[in-house]
Amino acid sequence: MTRRAKNKTVATWLAVVLGSMGVHRFYLRGLGDWIGWLHPIAAGLGWWGMNRVQALGQDDKLAWVLIPFLGSSIAAGCLAGIVYALSDRTKWNRWFNPGTDDEANAGATNWLTIGALVLGLLLGTVSFMGSLAYGIQHYFEYQIEEARKISQ
């Protein structure tokens, strides 16, 4: 049985677009990758938090904790895509295509790889900064609420 070479452009796009579900890790390492299974768990917790906000409103404290999981999961997938896109051909082929020539075409960078890199930078930054701002805002609102209770 011959093993198909893992293409860097495909892995980069999978990481950027479906990275929160761990699809890039399953593509590169197979379904037995336990870290890949952590991605959909974190994303699911974040989506549950989003549903709680829609159903219960913005004062739901559990949602404050859950929503940043989604942003972090998206940002982690984008970061993986950025690392993949910036790896050189030799390193890529040694990581994911052992036994092939170090200069094999599967590790080549092209314009589609660069497009995924740019999209990964954009989505990763927006999701990480958004979840960070959301978490910090609600933490300080909670602290102000508690201080008002103490002062009364």
In a domain, 1, yes or no: no
Quote the Cα angle for 130-71-82, to 5°.
100
Residue 12 C-beta-side C-alpha neighbours within 13 Å: 27
pLDDT digits (tens, 9 = 90+) for 86-135: 999 999 998 998 888 888 888 889 999 999 999 999 999 999 999 888 88
pTM, entire model = 0.86
Considering its fold, how many domains does the chain have in total?
1
In a domain, 30, yes or no: yes
**What domain range is 132 assigned to?**
9-151
In a domain, 77, yes or no: yes
